[in-house]
Chains A and B, each alone.
Chain A
Amino acid sequence: MPNDYLLSLPILAAAGWSVLLIILEAMLSRAALTRVFAMLGFALVGGLSVIGFPLQGLAFSEMLRIGGFQHFANIIFCLSGLLVVALSEKYLDDENVHYGEYYIVAFISVVGMMLLAAAANMAILFIGLEMMSIALYVLAGLMRRDVRSNEAAMKYFLLGAFASGLLLYGISLIYGATGELALHKIAIAIQTGSASMLFWIGFGLLITGFLFKISAVPFHQWTPDVYDGSPTPAAAFMSTGAKAAAFSALIVVVTNFSTLLQNSPTWSLVISSIALATMVVGNIAALAQENLKRMLAYSSVAHAGYMLVGIAAATPDGYSGIMFYTLVYTLMNIGAFGVVALLESKENLLLASDYAGLFKHRPMLAGAMAVFMLSLAGVPPLGGFIGKYKVFAAAVDAKLTWLALAGVLASAVSAYYYLRVVYFMFMRDPVGEAISAPATSSLAFALIAVAVVLLGVFPTEILRITDAALKFAQLPTQTGF
């Protein structure tokens, strides 16, 4: 029993910390203070995950599965939360919506993500998903006097609730087919018997629910509107932390059924087709976007497609590639959204052409943005390339060379719209007055950019960790019985 608490210490600490934040906000009502404590909390929880990295096992009557994978995912969530909170203040101030609740809700959302990644039981899976999603709906509608923000929140809520409904229905059908809710027990039930039609329908609905959350085609239509209307830092959070969480949960689910899925040609074909459609649609739609937030929204659809290639490969290499990818994606996408937020709140600049001549006035900021864009495009030696390399390598390994080939061609297309931003920043003369931005934030972005470069040049240790982290997630039945 005490072991349970030790194992799930990061989650417990996060939950406790979110209560602490509520008390703090109730007593003092000082947003700036809540912000500092939220950042401290993310650092603390991330630190606990780092310290507890080697711990693994099932906790609380096999409700939670804790292992390297979960710890790694926790670190990504905390990193995402930390960065988003760090760059939110100025934006919220400028938009006049600087409430302390913003940070609390973001923190609660991270608790939901951690539960989602650590779910060993489908009940926890659903609770985590809802905890994360409801908090995100609130974040999307934060600017409540702004019709676009309201629209975003409403759309996100309705479609999200629909997705949750599908997921829940899937869970109930799986329960009906196997009589179990714990993932590893379902796996055993299926191995001993055989997967019935009812199970497959339920599993399909479950996966559909996840595909909604990661905005895979054809369930992606909400993405551009929601990202566009939400406060930009919140959009950054949705596209990184929430996506990472949905992917971790997806990996947890599919690793549990790996033997079943590896022998199913239909599964591979369906996921490959969805990955292909997601990459193609995301990239082609992004080509036509003038508004940078919408462009980044479609690009996040495309990136979900690249990550799905790793799921389609259905090998440990593919999954560990996705984990690395989510880490890099978190850094580079928050960086890109952050720069957009900085200029948007200050100068109301949202179009790529508004960035003309940024290099002349703010070389460091422009340089950092160029690194993010090139990394999103997947150019070596930046981190985004290694992520793509890993998932495409897994696809080639799984004899899905056609999918990898389609993926690289899609990412060549993507280079065009990422470069457009760089083109305006560096190769056009400034129009109108100089774009100003505080020097400290430029430095912060430069640091994120350096991290992206370092992940591209020295990915070895992180890749080793992701490979090792997957071991426990891979062996569903080793402990617990």
Chain B
Amino acid sequence: MESSVLSLVIFLPFLLSFPLFSFNRAQHGTARWYALLSSLLVFAGALYLALQFNPSSGFQFEHTALQNWLGDSMDVKYSVALDGTSMLLFAFAAFMFPVVVLGSWERVTTNAREYYFFLLMLETCILGIFSAVDLFLYYMFWEAMLIPMYFLIGVWGGNGRGDAATKFFIYMLTASLVMLIGILSLGYISREMGGTFTTDYHKLLQLELPLSVQNILFWLFGLSFFVKAPLFPLHTWAADVYSESPTGAVLTGVLLKMATYALIRFNVMLFPTASANFAPLVCTLAVVAIIYGALVAMSQPNAKRLLAFSSVSHLGFIVLGIFSFTQEALQGAMILMVNSGLTTGLLLMLVGWLEERRGDVRLSEFGGLKKNMPMFSAAFLIATFASIGLPGLSGFIGEFLTLSGAFKSTTLQTGLYAMLAALGVILSAAYMLPMVQKIFTGELTSERNAALSDLTPREILVAALLVAMIIWIGVAPNSFLKLSETSSQAVIEFVTQKSASQALAK
């Protein structure tokens, strides 16, 4: 049946992960080839969906099952579908997994079976998060994701891995349990207003929630997403998790912008009036995050922590783009979500490779690497420029659209936010370029640095793939923008109309 294709793609990685346990425990070579092929297969499936996708219409590939999942008194079911907003991120997530498997090819030597098992399980959870259109199902995927993440960080991470994993888990669990109360309240409110307890996204969209209820629910849901995002001041877990996690876990679990996607999908769509009301507050936090993240990044002696704070800063742009409520800014935020995954992902992977070779990522340890690692330097430079937002690369498109959209925003009413945020672009150059300078320029001072070898062909392939994507988005953004165009248009129209009608009712 055509409609179950999406479910198949979502659960394919999970199903394919079980044969891993039949492999010999010592043979990690087989396990990683198998994992690569599996994730490529999933990517092929996602690509097929993306090609079949019709950008001009709404939700597609709908598949529902498990009617009345939690007993007859609750309209809770398994229900997945994709629209423009999620299609882009869905395909991007599927793209990142083979890249990650390739990127951490040599890294995992102990318990490889389990590593790839958790990675594939994580892929199912993430694909599920991007396609769930039932709040309960979404919550299941959202929380289930913590399990593979916890193990990936805790077992295969750096020295402080156990604490980082626990910290990550507790932060996420606390925040999302609060969201659970939000989901329950919303369900019972829907019963009071329309008959049955429901967590069906389409049905919940029809509700006309009173503003006071929206205000409370906005924060019950938002807290979870702001922690995960992470938005200032809830970002305190990020630096530890970035620096202690294995690269693969960070790239897939944290950098894929599930939280910001969820902000659009749930917070903005379900509570449009509250979102519009709180937009100035959230945007203020976003601008603070942009500048704060950049300033803290400047003072970091460790490359991984620096990248962690730079991603806090990038996140600010995305949130600003979402809460500006113009189509331009929203499209910019969509591109930024992909861009953040690509550029910070590439940088983290490069830093990870450096760590594999050198066992250290402190900036003070390096210098003059461009002499013996030319390919590495080139890739790093391109990623840095994309991250700063140089025209022609992916970062520029996103930041430009976001800032110009935020400037014109009628919800925010002032261009001040955009102007302050633009400061962040300058600051990003101020922390990224010194890092490049410290690592690559100057003389090769230490012998250990001189002994470092350049990228292997496999690593070049991974870097080239990501660089190609960065340039593709930078040069021809339309092929990506058109996927989410109709959807973002619809989001903006929906929100404006809803909040206008509520303002009228008052």
Decide: B181 and A459 in contact? CB cutoff 8 A: no
Contact check: which of A363, A401, A458, A467 meets B181 at CB < 8 Å? A401
Q: A464–B72 contact, CB under 8 A?
A: yes
Q: Which of B104-121 contact A (CB under 8 A)?
A: 111, 114
The interface stretch among A77-85, A105-113, A206-214, A378-386 is A378-386
**B166 contacts partner chain A, Cβ-Cβ < 8 Å:** yes
* Distance (whole angstroms) from the CB of B154 to the closest CB of chain A: 4
Nearest chain-A residue to B74 (Cβ)?
A393
User: Given A408-B181, A419-B166, A467-B72, does the pair A374, B173 have CB atoms closer than 8 Å?
Assistant: no
**Which residues of A sit under 8 angstroms from B154, Cβ to Cβ?**
422-423, 426-427
Contacts of A411 in B (CB 8 A): 177
CB distance A381 to B188 under 8 Å?
A: no
Q: B70 and A460: CB pair below 8 A?
A: yes
Interface residue A415 (Cβ < 8 Å from any Cβ of B)? yes
In the assembled complex, B143 has its CB within 8 A of some CB on chain A: yes
Chain A 449-481 interface 0/1 with B at a Cβ cutoff of 8 Å (1 = within): 000000000111001101100000000000000
A408 to B161 Cα, complex, angstroms? 26
Contacting pair B181 A404 (CB below 8 A): yes
Q: A396-B188, A401-B181, A416-B166 are in contact. Are A467 and B71 (CB under 8 A)?
A: yes
> Is the Cβ of B147 less than 8 Å from the Cβ of A397?
no
Q: Does A33 sit within 8 A of B, measured CB to CB?
A: no
Known contacts A408-B177, A423-B154: A401-B185 contact under CB 8 Å: yes
Contacts of A466 on B, CB cut-off 8 Å? 71
Cβ of B139: which chain A residues have Cβ within 8 Å of it? 380
Q: Is the CB of A386 within 8 A of B70?
A: yes
User: How far is it, in angstroms, between the C-alpha of A379 and the C-alpha of B143 when the chains are bound?
Assistant: 7
- The residue that A380 contacts in the complex, of B66, B114, B140, with Cβ under 8 A, is B140
Interface residues in B448-465 by Cβ distance below 8 A to A read: none
Q: Name the one of B111, B162, B174 contacting A412, with C-beta atoms under 8 angstroms.
A: B174
0/1 string, A389-419, CB within 8 A of B gives 1:
1101100110001001100110110011001
Given contacts A381-B144, A393-B184, A467-B72, contact A423 B177 (CB under 8 A): no
Is B69 close to A, CB under 8 A?
yes
- For residue B297, give the distance in angstroms from its CB to the closest CB of chain A: 29
B73 interface residue, CB < 8 Å from A? yes
B150 within 8 A of A: yes
- 0/1 interface trace, chain B 136-154, chain A, CB 8 Å (1 if under): 0001100110110011001
Complex: chain B residue closest to A426, CB-CB: B155
Interface contact tally, CB-CB below 8 A: 94
Q: How far is the CB of B80 from chain A (nearest CB, A)?
A: 15
Alpha-carbon gap, A423 to B150, bound state (A): 10
Question: CA–CA, A356 to B330, complex, Å?
Answer: 48
Q: Which of B124-145 touch A at CB < 8 Å?
A: 139-140, 143-144
Complex-state Cα separation, A416 to B143, whole angstroms? 16
A362 is an interface residue with CB less than 8 A from chain B: no
Q: Convert A31-59 into 0s and 1s, putting 1 for each residue whose CB lies closer than 8 angstroms to a CB of B.
A: 00000000000000000000000000000
Measured between beta carbons, the chain A residues less than 8 angstroms from B147 are 374, 379
Given that A426-B155, A427-B162 are contacting pairs, would A405 and B68 also be in contact in the complex, using a CB cutoff of 8 Å? no
Q: Across the interface, which residues of A come within 8 angstroms of B162, CB to CB?
A: 423, 427-428
List the A side residues contacting B70 at CB < 8 Å.
386, 389-390, 459-460, 463
* A25 at interface by CB-CB < 8 Å: no
Q: How far is the CA of A464 from the CA of B66 in the complex (A)?
A: 13
Chain A residues with CB below 8 A from B180, complex form:
389, 392, 408
From DSSP, what is the main secondary structure of chain A's interface residues? helix
Chain B residue at minimal CB-CB distance from A460:
B69
Contact of B178 among A377, A396, A405 (CB under 8 A): A405
Is A317 engaged at the interface, CB distance under 8 Å to the other chain? Answer: yes
Known: A363-B114, A459-B70. A404 touches B170 (CB 8 A): no
Complex Cα–Cα for A426 and B68 (A): 37
Partner of B170, one of A363, A416, A458: A416
User: A415 contacts B155, CB within 8 Å?
Assistant: no
Task: Report the bound CA distance from A379 to B151 in whole Å.
Answer: 14
* A377: nearest chain-B partner, CB-CB: B173
B169 within 8 A of A: yes
Is A172 part of the binding interface, using a Cβ–Cβ cutoff of 8 Å?
A: no
Q: Which of A392, A393, A464, A466 has the most CB of B within 10 A?
A: A393
Residues on the A chain within 8 Å of B333, using CB: none
Q: How far is the CA of A320 from the CA of B73 in the complex (A)?
A: 11
| B71 contacts A460, C-beta separation under 8 Å | yes
CB of B451 to closest CB in A, whole Å: 29
Residues of B within 8 A of A363 (CB): 114
**In the complex, chain B residues whose CB is within 8 Å of the CB of A405:** 178, 181
Partner of A379, one of B66, B68, B144, B155: B144
Measured between alpha carbons, how far is A408 from B73 in the docked complex, in Å? 22
Instruction: List B371-395 residues whose CB lies under 8 Å from chain A.
Output: none
Q: Could you say which residues of chain B place their CB within 8 Å of the CB of A460?
A: 66, 68-71
Min CB distance, A268 to chain B, in Å?
17
Residue of B with least CB distance to A456: B140
- Tell me the minimal C-beta distance from B149 to chain A in angstroms: 11
Query: A158-208: which residues lie under 8 A (CB-CB) from chain B?
Result: none
Measured between beta carbons, the chain B residues less than 8 angstroms from A458 are 66
Closest Cβ neighbor of A394 among chain B residues:
B184
> Is B181's CB under 8 angstroms from A317's CB?
no
The answer to whether B165 has its CB under 8 Å from any CB of chain A is: yes
A363 to B117, CA, bound (A): 13
Min distance, Cβ B382 to any Cβ of chain A, angstroms:
36
Write out the residue numbers on chain B whose beta carbons fall within 8 Å of the beta carbon of A381: 140, 144
Report how far A459 CA is from B155 CA in the complex, Å: 31
Q: From the candidates A420, A428, A459, A467, name the one contacting B73 in the complex (CB within 8 A).
A: A467
* B144:A426 contact, CB within 8 angstroms: no
With a cutoff of 8 Å between Cβ atoms, the chain B residues found around residue A459 in the complex are: 69-70
Known: A419-B166, A426-B155. A392 touches B181 (CB 8 A): yes
29 A–B contacts, CB within 8 A, in A order: A363-B114, A374-B147, A379-B146, A380-B139, A386-B70, A393-B74, A393-B184, A393-B187, A396-B185, A401-B185, A404-B181, A405-B178, A405-B181, A408-B177, A409-B177, A412-B170, A415-B169, A415-B170, A420-B166, A426-B151, A427-B155, A427-B161, A427-B162, A427-B165, A459-B69, A463-B70, A463-B71, A464-B72, A467-B71
A-to-B contact residues, CB < 8 Å: 317, 320, 359, 363, 374, 377, 379-381, 385-386, 389-390, 392-393, 396-397, 401, 404-405, 408-409, 411-412, 415-416, 419-420, 422-423, 426-428, 458-460, 463-464, 466-467
Q: Given A396-B188, A426-B154, 9 other A-B contacts at CB below 8 A?
A: A379-B144, A379-B146, A380-B143, A408-B181, A411-B177, A415-B170, A423-B165, A427-B155, A428-B162
**B positions within 8 Å CB-CB of A:** 66, 68-74, 111, 114, 139-140, 143-144, 146-147, 150-151, 154-155, 161-162, 165-166, 169-170, 173-174, 177-178, 180-181, 184-185, 187-188
Which A-B residue pairs are the 6 nearest by beta carbons? A408-B177, A463-B71, A412-B174, A427-B162, A396-B184, A427-B154
